[in-house]
Amino acid sequence: MPCPSRMSAQEESICKYVEEPTQSVITPELGISFDSLGDGYDFYTLYS
């Protein structure tokens, strides 16, 4: 069940990029979880 107060993996990646703009915006990391299959698909589509 999606948690409305939890940031999505995309939002977390963008926040990390703001703090360290020399890295990639979307970076997959071990342990990332997604609220739905669609969220995971969108994340990895942006990554590719």
Predicted confidence (pLDDT) per residue in 18-40, tens digit: 777 776 777 777 888 888 888 88
What's the mean per-residue pLDDT of the chain? 77
Task: Measure the CA–CA gap between 44 and 46, rounded to whole angstroms.
Answer: 5
Q: In this model, does residue 14 exceed pLDDT 80?
A: no
Task: Measure the CA–CA gap between 5 and 46, rounded to whole angstroms.
Answer: 23
Q: What is the largest CA-CA distance in the chain?
A: 34
DSSP letter at 8? P
Tell me what pLDDT residue 1 has: 57
- What pTM value is reported for the model? 0.55
pLDDT cut 70: percent of the chain above it = 85
Tell me what pLDDT residue 4 has: 67
